[in-house]
Structure 1
Amino acid sequence: MNAGLLMDLAVASAAAFALAWLSAVAGFGGGVLLLPVFTALFGLRTAVPVLTVTQLASNGSRAWLNRHHLHWPIIGRFALGAVPFALAGGLLLVTAPLAPLKGLLGAFLLAVVIWRRINPHPRKPTPRAFVGIGAASGLGSALVGSVGPLTAPFFLAYGLVRDAYIGTEATCALIMHLTKLAAYGGGGLLNPNVLWLGLALTPATLAGAWFGRHTMNRISERLFVLLVEAGLMAAGIMLIIAG
């Protein structure tokens, strides 16, 4: 293993720890902010599946830590929409041109911040609406890595709070990521290098989720939301310029 790869892995591990911690506290944001870091280090076509592998650990740990508070009716409806669209998006990523994808991701990140500011408290969705939310999440997540900041307001508007929100959202994301991995594997993106990188980053991700769980009730949620949005805007602008 050369020095350059070790340095990249060290940077990626530090980012994975910090943003898994942030996700555990604020409930969203880690995956979206990790993607620009991974893209700069590994390239977009590798970054998206590597991010998906690391998010298995992050979301799996959050789902397990909050397992007694999961809202299974919402999880089932979300999965009904997310699974087929995540498969379709994952297969599309295999052949999609990279430069437009970077620009799309940058525009998406900026749109997330604008949308959250315009509509911070959407109307309470019906349980059936989570089929459509899952479908949009599955497609978007497969193409740009993560859509947590866009879907988070719907889980909150439904009335899920703290442990119920974090655990239910994480379980929905876990189902979606497993589906994406199946699509990436079918398209040849899930190669040994991707699996190695994802597994190497898993300890940092698990540690960040554990520490975040223990600081969740001690830190202002509003502050973290503001930090996430600032990070989204910076990352979006950089990706648009790079694309």
Structure 2
Amino acid sequence: MAGFSQRVPAPMDISMVAHPSVTLLIDLSEGDGIVYDAHGGTGLGSVVIGLLPGELRASGRVGTCLQIRLEPALATAVFGASAELSGSLASLDDVWGRRAGRAEDRLRAAGSWHERFAIATELLGRRLDAAPRVDPEVAHIWRRTLAGRGRVRVEGLADEVGWSRGRLCARFRSQLGITPKRAARLVRFDHAAHLLAAGRPAADVAAASGYVDQSHLHRDVREFTGLTPTAVARAPWLAIDDVAWPDTRPGGKPATK
């Protein structure tokens, strides 16, 4: 989790970079709030961003916002219908109904970020306790994909869990809303994007991330973000990643900016 707050709401216009998680942005601003633009459609206020949003921009006058990133296996339990969240932008109202407004009211009334994080943890935990989990094999394959930074083979992963490739792809997609191969590409892209943001030359990033060449990297960056590698390297979302989210394991301490 990460919290962002400005005493006086200020205009914002930012390109958000695809990330190997489902992202929940809870808009706690008073007034106009955040406007999202993706795939030619727009949304306003709190939003759930699927795994592969492509080119996504956020703008408007922003005061206070809580961002929560969930690995896909957890997002399936928290939001349900994970396939509908892959590659999509959904209003939190559409996903949670009236509970979304009640959650926003509680978070907005909280006296500190510490209290907001505690409330968010309670709300998510309550849904996790009541929801079915993904197959342990699917969760294992997602963790292996992350650990391998996307440089994994689907056949090898299927062998690890004793499934056929067809069964693996079907179960993975039905539960996480993405194929194993596509998930690996997204994770590999995410690793490359952070290397670009750290100032590494594109050619070096391509080699370090397992791309055939620099043009291969360029195609993936363009597909996932609609941006060039140079533009991705300047993305503010990436610049603060390691500061705002230093520990994504359960129990990790959240930070605010």
Question: Larger Rg: 1 or 2?
Answer: 2
Higher helix share goes to which structure?
A: 1
Larger % of strand: which?
2
Greater RCO, CA 8 A, separation 6+: 1
TM-score above 0.5: no
User: When the two structures are superposed, what TM-score results if normalisation uses the length of structure 1?
Assistant: 0.30
